[in-house]
Amino acid sequence: MTGAVILMPTYPAPPPIAPLIHTRPRPFWSVMIPSYNRNPYLEGTLASVLEQDPGPEEMQIAVVDDASTRDDPEPLVRRLGGDRVTFIRQPRNLGQFANLNSCIQTAEGYWVHILHSDDLALPGFYATLKGALASRDDIGAAYCRSGTIGENGAWLRNSVSESSTPGILPGFLSRIAVTNRIQTPSIVVRRRVYEKLGGFRLDLPYAADWEMWIRIAAHYPIWYEPATLAAWRVHSESWSALNVRSGQNIADLRRCVEVSRSLLPAALAPALSRKAKDQVARVAVSGTFRALLARDLHTAFRQAREALRCDMSWRPVIRTLLFLPFRLVGEPLRRRRAAGRRQTARERGGIERTGCQ
């Protein structure tokens, strides 16, 4: 009697990216700015690129609008960019990642930078990364440390530093497979890498970027720049925020772990996938906690429900969820103590600067 054969689920292939047929010199960069109903931030995004513009021979700049239904971005693009910036309007709404694939297909440069219309390329982004990439033919993608900014542009936090020095990240696949460490505005990808590996998956509406970075890391070396040269914006009207409210973010992250497992070394895949599921559960629990703090019971319920679906060993998740009321009670005290420590640090800093004792 033979043992049962366990069949792994199969998933559709990523959408193809056709090779570029070019008869003229190509720019080094293609900066592709997908937009949709976000004019309040698009001006800052476009300005952050134009301030670093090395010229059309070196950089293609295009705004690709996904059939906006309000706040037509074309007049803004024409006012800021004139003929320097190409404006493309999709004939119908494609959805976020299908529009990103259209951006890649339209890109003419050797390196593609997708910069969402609410994010920023900080000064030095293009010059610094070109300095690292211009003489390298082996690197598939490069990214820098990034910051998170709020609706009003206030700086909230920096991403985790992967290395104190620029260079290829050794063993990066094992890190990116467990948690998404890359924000889209901070990464540039060689166009021929997209041509070989395909575009963003359309069956992972929230987590297609994470799966893409895992896919690239499984096939190519990744370069890291420790300087903070890009900023990712969080705001209540963002597409990501809408997915958190519905719980779709956790469902897609969980599915991304399953889809990406085939990209990992066979000996490491079980352990890495287990760690990734645990990390997704933590994201869901944190989402539940933040929603409860905001008295958003709708979001809290959906995040908690998805947390329970993340891992076979779900008892720790239940214990953590049950402990949340105690965290909620203690949160105001924790914040007051943190504010007191910050005030004390500021006062001590003032004493040190004035030389007082």
Q: Is the pLDDT of residue 279 over 50?
A: yes
Q: Return the structure tokens found at 298.
A: 């709708």
Displacement of CA 74 from its chain's centroid (Å): 25
Closest CA to 299 of 310, 285, 281, 315: 285
Residues 231 and 246 in one domain: no
Decide: 204 and 198 in contact? Cβ < 8 Å: no
Other residues' Cβ atoms within 10 Å of the Cβ of residue 214 = 26
Residue 345 lies in a domain: no
Which pairs with CB-CB distance under 8 Å and at least 24 residues apart come from 150-159?
A: 150/233, 150/234, 150/235, 151/233, 151/234, 151/235, 151/236, 153/44, 155/231, 156/234, 158/228, 159/183, 159/186, 159/228
Tens of pLDDT, residues 324-357: 555 555 555 555 565 656 555 555 554 443 444 3
Tens of pLDDT, residues 28-75: 999 999 999 877 899 999 999 999 999 999 999 999 999 999 889 999
Q: Is the pLDDT of residue 125 over 70?
A: yes
> What pLDDT is recorded for position 354?
40
Distance CA 285, CA 335 (A): 19
Which pairs with CB-CB distance under 8 Å and at least 24 residues apart come from 258-262?
A: 258/9, 259/11, 259/201, 259/203, 259/204, 259/211, 260/177, 260/210, 260/211, 260/214, 260/215, 261/8, 262/8
> Which is more confidently placed, 242 or 203?
203
Tens of pLDDT, residues 5-27: 444 567 789 999 999 987 789 99
Tens of pLDDT, residues 282-318: 888 877 777 777 777 777 777 677 777 776 455 555 5
Residues 106 and 51 in one domain: yes
Residues 274 and 226 in one domain: no
> What pLDDT is recorded for position 334?
57
Distance CA 118, CA 259 (A): 29
Give just the sign of the alpha carbon dihedral 323, 325, 329, 333: positive
**62 membership: H or E segment, kind and range:** strand 59-65
Residue 166 lies in a domain: yes
Residues 199 and 214 in one domain: yes
Tens of pLDDT, residues 110-124: 999 999 999 999 999
Q: Is the pLDDT of residue 195 over 60?
A: yes
Cite the DSSP H helix spans in 181-268: 191-197, 208-217, 239-246, 248-260
Q: How many residues does the chain have?
A: 357
> What pLDDT is recorded for position 325?
58
Predicted TM-score of the model (pTM) = 0.83
Tens of pLDDT, residues 69-99: 988 999 999 999 999 999 999 999 999 999 9
- The number of folded domains in the chain is 2
Residues 40 and 140 in one domain: yes
Residues 89 and 220 in one domain: yes
Distance set, CA 101 to CA 196, 206, 226 (Å): 14, 15, 28
**Over the chain, what is the mean pLDDT?**
86
> What pLDDT is recorded for position 11?
79
